[in-house]
């Protein structure tokens, strides 16, 4: 019995030794393979952090805005527009932003001339966008302008890549092209601009065939009347169309303030006017000198919509201005 026990125990010890050898061999192989398996991981990590990596170059690209180079998503999905010009252009390019402001007061309806604004979240007003509302939308791109939003630029860039044009109004063409490039729609933006140029050439040709005289562009206000000059959004479009303004309205600058005694400065063969208040126009028209103006005598005083003549600032507003010029200066 004892001999059998010894033999049995010897077999068990032998098996244990064999198993141990296999285990040690396995551990040795595993240890030898570790440096090899970790090397690709280090290479992958370095590639991911490299600005030249395939992954990043496909996800972001560089746009030059009013502040310099900006890395923007190649395919932005959640875009916030900070002004009506940006909202106008984005919609024209077939892109609906997730957020945009009202012109005057938070919660006001978006301009009536803009189709497709349903479902856009209001983020306050153009002059006072709500940063908390913007952040809640989790934007991957913010588009605004330096002229209005310079003071909050530093906070916006912490929320998402931010692209600002320098200013609004007379620079609307450059703004359209930058907006289009920013969202990957450069070709579409150029097409919109080319279509506008064709319309302007057609308008100029019609004015050449049928001169319309001198056109006055004014904005009655509570305490004065403003004459909008040629370096304004609408004034620039009129100039491109070959429209002649009364001499005093050909001055450089944005606008002139006219008092009751200077009302003759408003004269022209046609007067186009816009205002945020009908009462302001009624006050201007109540002046005894108003009735002496040529356009008033000829019954050629036309009201145009301030939402796109003054505050639109995008390509859709531009085309609405061209529509009005055709309607009031040619078709009448």
Strand order in the sheet with 141-145: 121-125, 99-102, 79-81, 141-145, 162-165
CA distance 220 to 284: 7
Q: How many CB atoms lie within 10 A of CB 23?
A: 10
pLDDT tier at 210, thresholds 50, 70, 90: confident
Measured CA to CA, the distance from residue 237 to residue 77 in angstroms comes to: 32
Give the architecture-level CATH label for domain 191-329.
3-Layer(aba) Sandwich (3.40)
Query: For position 25, what pLDDT does the model report?
Result: 39
CA distance 218 to 279: 15
Q: 59-184 maps to which CATH number? A: 3.40.50.1980
Domain boundary assignment for the chain = 59-184, 191-329
- Total residues found in the chain within this entry: 332
Q: Is the pLDDT of residue 26 over 50?
A: no
Q: Do the domains 59-184 and 191-329 sit in the same CATH topology, yes or no?
A: yes
For residue 246, give Cα distances in angstroms to 113, 213, 275. 29, 9, 20
- Asked whether residue 14 carries a pLDDT value surpassing 70, the answer given is no
Maximum distance among all Cα pairs of the chain, rounded to whole angstroms: 139
pLDDT at 223: 87
Q: How far apart are CA 205 and CA 199, in angstroms?
A: 10
pLDDT score at 77: 96
Q: What is the pLDDT of residues 41-53, one digit of tens each?
A: 332 223 333 333 3
What's the pLDDT score for residue 39? 32
Q: State how far the Cα of 27 lies from the Cα of 103, in Å rounded to an integer.
A: 71
Structure tokens at 95: 């892109």
Report the chain's mean pLDDT, rounded to a whole number: 85
Q: What pTM did the predictor assign?
A: 0.82
* Distance from the first to the final alpha carbon of the chain: 128
Q: Span 261-279, mean pLDDT?
A: 93
59 C-beta neighbours (distance < 10 Å), count: 12
């Amino acid at each position: 019995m004892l001999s059998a026990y010894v033999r049995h125990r010897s077999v068990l010890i032998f098996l244990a030794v064999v198993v141990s050898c296999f285990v040690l061999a396995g551990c040795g192989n595993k240890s030898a393979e570790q440096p090899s398996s970790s090397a690709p991981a280090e290479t992958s990590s370095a590639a991911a952090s490299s600005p030249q990596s395939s992954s990043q170059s496909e996800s972001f690209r560089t746009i030059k805005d009013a502040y310099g180079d900006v890395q923007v998503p190649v395919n932005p999905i959640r875009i916030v527009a900070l002004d009506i010009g940006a909202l106008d252009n984005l919609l024209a390019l077939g892109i609906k932003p997730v957020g945009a402001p009202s012109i005057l007061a938070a919660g006001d309806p978006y301009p009536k001339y803009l189709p497709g604004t349903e479902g856009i979240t209001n983020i306050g007003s153009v002059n006072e966008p709500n940063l908390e509302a913007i952040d809640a939308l989790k934007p991957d791109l913010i588009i605004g302008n330096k002229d209005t939003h310079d003071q909050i630029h530093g906070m916006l860039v912490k929320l998402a890549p931010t692209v600002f044009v320098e200013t609004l109004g007379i620079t609307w063409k450059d703004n359209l092209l930058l907006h289009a490039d920013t969202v990957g729609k450069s070709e579409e933006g150029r097409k919109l601009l080319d279509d506008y140029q064709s319309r302007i050439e057609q308008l100029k040709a019609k004015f050449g065939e049928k001169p319309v005289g001198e056109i006055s562009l004014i904005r009655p206000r509570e305490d004065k009347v403003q004459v909008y000059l040629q370096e304004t959004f609408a004034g620039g479009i009129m100039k491109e169309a070959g429209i002649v303004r009364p001499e005093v309205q050909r001055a450089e600058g944005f606008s002139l303030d006219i008092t009751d005694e200077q009302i003759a400065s408003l004269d022209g063969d046609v007067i186009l006017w816009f205002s945020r208040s009908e009462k302001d126009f009624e006050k201007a028209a109540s002046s005894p000198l108003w009735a002496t103006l040529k356009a008033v005598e000829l019954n050629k005083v036309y009201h145009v919509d301030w939402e796109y003549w003054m505050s639109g600032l995008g390509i859709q507003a531009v085309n609405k201005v061209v529509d009005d010029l055709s309607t009031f200066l040619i078709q009448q």
